[in-house]
Amino acid sequence: MTERTRRRTPTAVCAALTVTVLLGGSAAAAPPTDPYPADDPPTSASTPADAAGTPPDGVPLPDEIRHSRNVRHVANMPPRPPFDAPLAFGTDIAFTGQHAIVGNYEGFTIYDISRPSAPRLVSQVHCPGSQNDVSVSGNLLFLSTDTSRSDDSCASAALPATEPNAWEGIKIFDIGDKAAPRYVASVETDCGSHTHTLVPDRRRDSVLLYVSSYGPDAGYPDCRPPHDRISIVRVPLRNPSKAAVVAEPVLFPLGGNPGRPGEFPDYVVPTSGCHDITVYPERDLAAAACMGDGLLLDISDRLRPRVIDQVRDDEHFSFWHSATFNQAATKVVFVDELGGGMAPACTPEIGPEHGASAVYDIVGRGSHRRLVKRAYFKIDRPQDPTENCVAHNGSLIPVPGRDILVQAYYQGGVVIWDFTDSRRPREIGYFERGPLPPDQIPAGGSWSAYYYNGHIYSSDLRKGLDVLAVDDPRTAPARWIRLPEFNAQTQPSH
């Protein structure tokens, strides 16, 4: 989501701070509200050649669930107070062992997913500060704060962006005891931390975080233009309280995309930082989505990422939001978050090439590699004009020899699509709810949808954690792949 509240600056009170932990050992998964029997749900309208029946006319009723025949909704964990407030949006997900950690504008929640059909709430940490995107490494949890706060504690208050003594950046927790996470450190970063990406350090005693932030203003004390760089934080694994910014590499020495003003959907956001970076450490590659630009980076020197190629698509892309490599690192899927996640971008008037994903082939070798656009992919199931709907966070389903992505679409739901043929991507499954009731704030749906160890986990802005199962021969080989840990922006080599 690109909507944000700004911000910020100096203090970095890094201490063992107290957090509110709500234990939920007895909480159980609510049964999915699903009006369709598992053996005969409606099928996707977007790929009639693949469909096993006729898709329903129109859109689902408010909160009604629909899904393709090959997808089952196996569990939902609704948010608990205070994570059920109108603006307490669910955000990103990280996985470690048999636990899923789900971010929220109010903090984060740890779930035991050893039984995917019956997740159990282990703990909930109240620590406000958008977006609270999460990643995990061993017993350490990292949390992005991208609003100006009175200090770096979990009891902080929001401050105006112009306040010179505000704080925002990275918070670090010890989650060795999942039932009682402990806040151990913080690192302030320029322009905050909208998202961050965990990168294995060459020094095995530490990890690196590539911090993406944007939106500078001459009136913001620690976020003045030009903001053409990222922050790199090194976290010593044995002493995370010593975490610090160790580099601020400039990615746009000549400036980024100047943008194009206009009305929705005909505009391009100027580049003033990056929104999200996905790394493929074993290939020494990264793909950066930076507002008006898409980058392919060489990260063989972790502290000095080098731009290999830079692409733009001012005709169709308004906001370069995120990226995903295929397993062979021969393709990148870039995402356009048209409307910042708050607009109805999945209507016939917007069309199939705005607010979509774009498949790029990586051609050439070494420093001569280039990104070549092959096709767009976007859901085309009917959506209500009140529904915020646009391409958002996803991950590969690790099928050897095929390129299959599961992806969130806010109120457009969750989609599974195949881009093995990069010129002809196609949908092979989906899950969605109908629009939110008219008396609710019209912003909801799936923020993040990731595949982990046999199931899809979706973080819904309003509905909590959904668990989906996929029963399809095209994705079946992925069931044999098990990971001890997964951060979607740090792609593993399966």
Do the strands 404-408 and 464-470 form a parallel or antiparallel pair, or are they unpaired?
unpaired
DSSP collapsed to 3 states, the chain = CCCCCCCCCCCCCCCCECCEECCCCCCCCECCCCCCCCCCCCCCCCCCCCCCCCCCCCCCCCCCEEECCCEEEEEEECCCCCCCCCCCCEEEEEEECCEEEEEECCEEEEEECCCCCCCEEEEEEECCCCEEEEEEECCEEEEEECCCECCCCCCCCECCCCCCCCECEEEEEECCCCCCCEEEEEEECCCCCCEEEEEECCCCCEEEEEEECECCCCCCCCCCCCCCECEEEEEECCCHHHCEEEECCECCCCCCCCCECCCCCCCECCCCECCEEEEEHHHCEEEEEEECEEEEEECCCCCCCEEEEEECCCCCCCCEEEEEECCCCCEEEEEECHHHHCCECCCCCCCCCCCCEEEEEEECCHHHCEEEEEEEECCCCCCCCCCCECCCEEEEECCCCCCEEEEECECCCEEEEECCCCCCCEEEEEEEECCCCCCCCCCCCEEEEEEECCEEEEEECCCEEEEEEECCCCCHHHHHCCCCEEECCECCCC
Average pLDDT over residues 228-247: 98
Is residue 359 predicted with pLDDT exceeding 80? yes
374-397 per-position pLDDT tens digit: 999 999 999 999 999 999 999 999
Looking at residues 317-328, what average pLDDT do you find? 98
User: Could you give the CA distance from residue 410 to residue 300 in angstroms, rounded to a whole number?
Assistant: 35
Give me the mean pLDDT over the 3-20 stretch: 37
Q: Over range 227-253, report the average pLDDT.
A: 97
Model pLDDT, residue 18: 34
With CA atoms as reference, report the closest residue to 323 among 303, 295, 300.
295
Which of 33-42, 98-107, 434-443 has the least mean pLDDT? 33-42
How distant is the alpha carbon of residue 413 from its chain centre?
Answer: 14
Instruction: Provide the pLDDT for residue 58.
Output: 76
Predicted pLDDT of residue 493: 86
Q: pLDDT over 90 for what percent of the chain?
A: 85
Q: What is the pLDDT confidence band of residue 2, given thresholds at 50, 70 and 90?
A: low
pLDDT at 271: 98
Mean pLDDT value across the chain: 90
pLDDT at 26: 36
Whether the upstream peptide bond of residue 258 has omega within 30° of 0, thus cis, is: no
Is residue 333 within 8 A of residue 296, CB to CB? The reply is: no
> Which of the four pLDDT bands, split at 50, 70 and 90, describes residue 43?
very low
Q: What is the pLDDT of residue 16?
A: 32
**Which pLDDT tens digit goes with each residue over 282-298?**
999 999 999 999 999 99
Single-letter amino acid, residue 466: D
Average pLDDT over residues 2-31: 39
pLDDT value for 50? 39
- Mean pLDDT, residues 326-347: 97
Amino acid at 413: G
Q: pLDDT tens for residues 77-116?
A: 999 999 999 999 999 999 999 999 999 999 999 999 999 9
Domain ranges of the chain: 1-30+80-248, 32-77+256-494
Q: What pLDDT is attached to residue 45?
A: 32
Chain centroid to CA 363: how far? Answer: 26
Segment 5-13 shows an average pLDDT of 36
Residue-level pLDDT at 57:
58
| CATH, domain range 32-77+256-494 | 2.130.10
Mean pLDDT computed over 7-29: 37
Q: Tell me how far apart the alpha carbons of residues 338 and 367 are, in angstroms, rounded to a whole number.
A: 31
pLDDT band at 494 (very low <50, low <70, confident <90, very high): confident
Say how far apart CA 416 and CA 455 lie, in whole Å: 12
Q: According to the model, what pLDDT value does residue 14 have?
A: 33
The answer to which of 55-69, 121-135, 195-209, 402-416 has the lowest mean pLDDT is: 55-69
CB-based burial of residue 58 (10 Å sphere; 0-12 exposed, 13-18 middle, 19+ buried)?
exposed
